[in-house]
Structure 1
Amino acid sequence: MPEIGYGNFRKKWLRKATVYSFKNCSLILPVAEALVQQDYHFDSSISARQGLKNLIPNLKTPIRVIHNGFDTDFWKDLGLARTEYSFISVATGTGSSSRAQVKGYDLIELLAANHPDWKFTLVGDLAYTSPNLNVKILGKAYPEKLRQLYNEHQFYLQLSTSEGFPNSLGEAMSCGCVPIGSAVGAIPEIIGNPKLILVKKDIEMLEALFLNLETEDLANLSTKAIQRIQENFNFQKRQKELIQALQI
C-alpha cells in the first residue's frame, strides 16, 4: 500500500527478495484468504487489488490458508468488572505515523475526540502520542497483563487499514471483549457479525455503528465473541491443519 507508505513492495530490493521467496518456496501458508487475493474497498485512496496473486500474477507456488489459533484455556473471561464504554486496541510500532494509520489509530482518535467520556487504551508502543486526554498509552505487555486488560474493557477495536489475521483481536474476543472491526483481511470472518463491521473508513459510519449497538444486548455479544473463537479459531484446529499441510 504505497499510498500510506506501507508494504515490502515499496522498496526495490525488498520487493525482489519477497517475490523470489514466494516463487521458490515449496508451500505458502497464509493465515487469511485476503492475503492471497482481495478486492479491497475499505479505504478508497488505496488500490483495490491486494494480495499475493495480485502482486505476483505469475505465482505458481501451492497455497493453503490456515487461520491462526488461540489457547482458549488462557485467553478467557476472568469475570472482572468491565468499565462501560471502555475500548482497547493493541499494536506495536505505532510510534510511526504510517504504522498508526495502518492500525486504525486515526479513526480511534476521532472517536475519542467525539466522546470525551469514553475511555480508550492503546497498548504496544510508548512512543505513540495522543492529543486526547481520554486515550491512555501503554507499552508492550506480557500475556498475563494483556489478559487482564482485555477483561477490564468492554470493546476491542480493530479498525485497521491493512490486516491479515490479527492475533490481538482473537485474544480479546476470547476474553469477552465485544469486537468492532474494519472490513479488511480476515477481520469480518473472525468477528462473524456484520453489525460489528465498519465497511468504509468513515467516522460517521463508525458513529452510526455504535448508535445501532445501543439496542443490542452487549453481554450476549460478549458471550458470542468467546464462543466464536472457541469453536472456529482454537489452537487445536490450527495445530491439526499445520500437521496435515506439512505431511508432504
Structure 2
Amino acid sequence: MEQQYEVRHQGFLPKKKWQTPLVWLGQVLFLLRHIWQADALICMFAGYHSFLPALFGKLASKPCLIVAGGTDCVAFPSIGYGVFANALLGRFARWSYQMAAHIAPVHEKLVWQDYTYQPNDFPHQGFRFHCPGLKTPHTVIYNGYDASFWKPDAAVVRQPNTFLTVCAGLDMRFTQRLKGLDLMLEVAARMPEATFTIVGAPDGFRFPNQPANVKLLPKMPLADLKLVYSAHTFYMQLSLSEGFPNALSESMLCGCVPVVSGVGGMPVIIGDSGFVLEKQDTVLLEHLLKDALRSNSPKLAENARQQIALRYREERREKELHLLLQQLLKRS
C-alpha cells in the first residue's frame, strides 16, 4: 500500500479480554483524528477490530475494505475455533461485513466451501455461509510470495524421509488439534523410518510420550526458517481449517513436497505437486505418507516450487490490490 498511498495504521491487540474496551477507545480516537483525511479504510480480518472502521467508513462515506484471511470466515465449535464459533464475535464480524464497501478474501474457499474433512462441525464454511443474505461484493485476491527470497539453499543437503511443519503455540492442546499435530504424532510413532520436525516449540517443551523420531525446534527468524525448509523433503499442513497458509507456500518455494489436509484452499494451492488427506484419519494418513516416501520427490519438489512461483507471485497480489482500491475510490 505504501508504494502508492500514505498509510496510517493502528493495531488492535488487547493483551487481556477486559482490555478490549480500552483498545476500542484508542481506535475511536485514531479514527476521529485520521478519517477525514483518509481516502479508504482497510482491515485485515473481520471481528471486533473491524466494526468501528466499517461503521466510521459508512458514516463518513469512505470505502472500507476487509481482507478476509481465514478464521474470520469459519466456525468450528468442536474446538472453539473461528470467529463465527463465538456468538458475540460473530455478530461483530457480520456487522463489519455488512457495512464494508468490499471484501477481499485470500482464497475463494473462504467465500463458501463444502466441508467434508471431519464430521463434527458445519457441512459448509465461508463468510457467505455464516452471513446468509450478505450483499457486500467481494473480489478474491490470492496471497503472493517472493520466489527470489524463498528458494532452496544450495549449501543445505536435503534429508530423505523427513517431514516438517511450522506451528505457533504448539504447547496448547487447542493448537495441536487445530493444526493436526495430534495426527502427526500418532502416525510418527508408527513410522520409525521417517523423521518428523516441528518448528515453534517454547523452551523446554516436549509432548507427553513424544516419539523418538519427532524433533522440536524453536521459533526462528525467516532466514533460518528457509534453511530448515531446504533441509526437509516434505512439508505437512494437516489443519482442520486453513485459508491460504504462508508456511505451506514458503516451504513449497524452498523445494518441499506438500502433504495437506483437504480443507480450505490447500488442495487447489498445491495442485498436482503433492498429497491430500481427504479425511481426518490416522490410517489414511499413514498410507498417504508411505505413498509420499515412495514417490519421485525431486520431480514433485520442482513442481511445488513452480506452482507457487508462477501462480502466486507477490507482484500479482500488489497489482490486484491496487486495482481494487482504485475502483473503490472511483465509486466513492
Give the alignment's TM-score, normalised by structure 2: 0.71
Match in the other structure for 1:11? 86
2:258 to 179, 184, 187: 179
Deviations 1:143-177, CA, capped at 9 Å, x for gaps: 10110000011100011111111000000000000
Structure 1 position 218, deviation (Å) = 0.9
Question: In the alignment, is the contact (CA less than 8 A) between 2:229 and 2:251 conserved in 1?
Answer: yes
- 2:142 aligned residue: 67
The equivalent residue for 2:182 is: 106
In the alignment, is the contact (CA less than 8 A) between 1:195 and 1:209 conserved in 2? no
Correspondence for 1:88: 164
Conserved 8 A contact 1:188-1:194: no
* RMSD (Å) for aligned C-alpha atoms: 1.6
- Cα distance in 1 between the residues matched to 2:179 and 2:139: 26
Which among 184, 193, 216 is matched to residue 117 of structure 1?
193
**How far did residue 232 of structure 1 move?**
0.5
Deviations 1:32-53 (A, max 9, x none): 1111101000112222111101
- What is the aligned partner in structure 2 of residue 204 from structure 1? 283
One-letter amino acid of the counterpart of residue 206, structure 2: T
Change (3 A) 1:61 1:125: farther
User: What does 1:1-248 correspond to in 2, within 5 Å?
Assistant: 1-79=76-154, 80-126=156-202, 129-130=206-207, 131-193=210-272, 196-248=275-327
1:205-242 alpha-carbon deviations (Å, 9 max, x no partner): 11222333354211101111111111101111111111
Contact 1:105–1:159 (8 Å) recurs in 2? yes
Question: Matches of 2:120 and 2:174 in 1, distance apart?
Answer: 14
For 1:171 and 1:99, how far apart are their aligned partners in 2?
Answer: 21
Higher RCO (CA 8 Å, separation ≥ 6 residues)? 1
Distance change >3 Å, CA 202–CA 90, structure 1 → 2: same
Which string of whole-angstrom CA distances, capped at 9 and with x for unpartnered residues, describes residues 185-206 of structure 1?
Answer: 0100111028611111111111
Rg (Cα) greater in structure: 2
Taking the aligned partners of 2:293 and 2:184, their CA distance within structure 1 comes to 19
Could you report, residue by residue, the CA deviation over 1:93-148 in whole angstroms, capped at 9, with x for unpaired residues? 22221222111111111121111332111112427632222222223211101100
How many residues are paired up? Answer: 248
| Aligned structure 1 segments of 4 or more residues deviating by more than 4 angstroms | none
> SS of the residue aligned with 1:114?
coil
CA distance in 2, matches of 1:194, 1:71: 19
Q: Which moved more, 1:47-56 or 1:194-203?
A: 194-203
Q: Structure 2: any 5+ residue segments left out of the alignment?
A: 1-75, 328-332
Spell out, residue by residue over 1:2-45, the C-alpha distance to the aligned partner (whole angstroms, 9 max, x if none): 01221122323212211111111111111111111010001122
Matched residues in 1 for 2:218 and 2:289: separation? 28
Distance 1:113 1:214, change over 3 A: closer
